[in-house]
A = this chain, B = another copy of it.
Amino acid sequence: MPQYTPPIRDTRFVLEHVVGLDRYANVAGFAAATPDTVEAVLEEGGRFVAEVLFPLNQSGDLEGCTRHDDGSVTTPKGFKEAYARFVESGWGTLSAPEAFGGQGMPHVVSTAFQEYMISANMAFAMYPGLAHGAIAALVVKGSPEQQQKYLPKMVSGEWGGTMNLTEPQCGTDLGLIRTRAEPQADGSYRITGTKIFISAGEHDLTDNIIHLVLAKTPGAPDSSKGISLFVVPKVLVEDDGSLGARNAVSCGSIEHKMGIHGNSTCVMNYDGATGWLVGEEMKGLAAMFIMMNAARLGVGLQGLGVAETAYQNAVQYARDRRQGRALTGPAEPGEKADKLFVHPDVRRMLMDGKAWTEGLRALCLWGALQADLEHNADAEEDRQLAGDLLGLLTPVIKGVGTDRGYQIATNAQQVYGGHGYIREWGMDQYVRDARIAMIYEGTNGVQAMDLVGRKLAQNGGRAVQAFGRLVMTEIAAGKANPAVADLAQRLEKAAGELQAATMWFLANGMKDPNNVGAGAVPYMHLVGTVAVGLMWLRMATAAARLKGEGAGDAAFLDAKLVTARYFAERVLPEAGSLRRQIEGGAEAIMALPPEMFAAA
């Protein structure tokens, strides 16, 4: 039976020593995040997901969602009751605005909880997760009336929410959208079209679902500049807040997916459904990006969350399973075989899982801190810096978090040998679930293009320069500290590869923009390697200091130092290879005519 334990001690270590939560007590929202409150969220929230959501993870995968002839959808057994408890205990409201019934806590805190929820049950976590994206858009772009009408019940979790972007003919390229919005005399619009891959599009968890839908108004340009955002409730909401008539939106079918079977991914048919414009006409793309950026950070967190559970189970299996003997001679001569843990290659996979999950956790929480500071820091320059760092790192957290998440889940499955391939052990689910995170909310290739095509050049390269200064400052401090000097030196080398790659783009991107496109994904991984390396430098520095002070659990601190060393010795060297791939440029990649790709 699979198991999951929320990594509370590790989260706490990151919040204290990487995020430095106590330094931001003066920032709006952080006052609420007292050590006691944070501890309660981690402990109680962790218990809730482990006891209520995790037991439904495997059964939800096996059962999946069911669409009935009337278009209604039943979620897997137990989801409805678990969701009711989720709403009741308020776990979805942690960082929602107090004005709409939220608890107004920093994103850092809700992100810590969300990781646990994803680890326990990714498919379940997507129901409130998608609502959060819709909430974010309404908070920024909704009219006061729309906000009052929808937000309190969306924030409480009483109502669900979705993001309707994709259509059969368009995913990334939203300019191709065909869904139409016809203005009506009363100021509303009639929405007509088909949306696909709509997560949580229809289900039985809530009385209402508030769809945010991209569509085109009459005469709008045939490009992404012509799209507008609409709010389309499943059930119309009367002015007194009561539920009215059913709107003309329905689930046409549930997609047959490789994984996340517990989430109802729907084809949604809009047949003249009544909707209302959110924000300005033809400014839908900007509104969409509010949802999207929140969602991308959430998807990066999915990479981490699923990987964590897969990793934990692989660790347990390596402790239990006996097979073969240590290379250095029998570790337990009295037993017929040693445990898997004696084998260096099994440990290599587990150390890789450990180094990346702990490193990505630090990066995700530190990224969430930037989201908080971007809005709430006192000084304009602090808000700008946080916004720059967050913008730069959002595609990295999404792309690298999910690429590595899939790799960690695959390695965890590998530790099980043949048993990893068999449904009973549950390991294949983590791989299948992790796979989607590399694709949705913009494929990882799209993330990489967002990074190199938009974020690098914005404001004269301000963000990447700020990131570089931060990294180099902390490296300089690390080099002066004998306890972490080797790691700092290796990180300096990796950061040098990143700088060289950035310079190469500058020098060669003007000649041929394909040179940048061809190096985009390796570059994203190069930034991710340096960013997670920075997290490890912070963690190792803190661990060495605490150890020197005799504070904390020495074994825990030693483990941090060993894992930091693993990252330095085994992961950071990839930076050189990534740089050289980038410097390979676009020529060989773009040279062949498409018809020569077939070997036949």
Chain A positions near chain B (C-beta within 8 angstroms): 5-10, 166, 169-173, 175-176, 196-197, 222, 255-259, 308, 312, 315, 318-319, 322-324, 327-328, 336-337, 339, 341, 343-351, 354, 357-358, 406, 410, 413-414, 417-418, 420-424, 428, 431-432, 435-436, 438-440, 443-445, 448-449, 453, 512-514, 516-518, 520-521, 555-556, 558-559, 562-563, 565-566, 569-570, 573-574, 576-577, 580-581, 584-594, 596-600
Residue among A5, A7, A410 with the highest chain B CB neighbour number at 10 A: A410
Among B343, B445, B600, the residue within 8 A (CB) of A8 is B600
Residue among A170, A418, A453, A587 with the highest chain B CB neighbour number at 10 A: A418
The distance in angstroms between the C-alpha atoms of A354 and B591, with both chains bound, is 13
Residue among A345, A445, A570 with the highest chain B CB neighbour number at 10 A: A345
The distance in angstroms between the C-alpha atoms of A449 and B514, with both chains bound, is 41
Query: Are A440 and B418 touching (Cβ within 8 A)?
Result: yes
Of all chain B residues, the one with the shortest Cβ separation from A443 is: B417
Among B5, B6, B323, B327, the residue within 8 A (CB) of A171 is B323
Query: Are A559 and B513 touching (Cβ within 8 A)?
Result: no
Residues of B contacting A512 in the complex (Cβ-Cβ under 8 angstroms): 328
Residues of B contacting A351 in the complex (Cβ-Cβ under 8 angstroms): 588-589, 592
Main SS at interface, chain A: helix
- One complex includes copies of this chain to the number of 2
User: Given the interface contacts A258-B428, A562-B591, does A600 sit within 8 Å of B5 by beta carbon?
Assistant: yes
Instruction: Please list 17 pairs of residues, one from A and one from B, whose beta carbons are closer than 8 Å in the complex, sorted by A's number.
Output: A5-B600, A166-B418, A169-B322, A172-B324, A176-B322, A258-B432, A328-B514, A339-B594, A344-B589, A345-B445, A348-B589, A350-B597, A351-B588, A351-B592, A414-B438, A569-B584, A569-B585
The distance in angstroms between the C-alpha atoms of A197 and B413, with both chains bound, is 16
User: Given the interface contacts A323-B172, A562-B591, A597-B315, does A518 sit within 8 Å of B444 by beta carbon?
Assistant: no
Residues of B contacting A197 in the complex (Cβ-Cβ under 8 angstroms): 418, 422
Among B417, B421, B445, B599, the residue within 8 A (CB) of A414 is B445
Say how far A494's CB is from chain B's closest CB, in angstroms: 11
Query: Are B517 and A343 touching (Cβ within 8 A)?
Result: yes
Of all chain B residues, the one with the shortest Cβ separation from A520 is: B345
Query: Are A580 and B573 touching (Cβ within 8 A)?
Result: yes
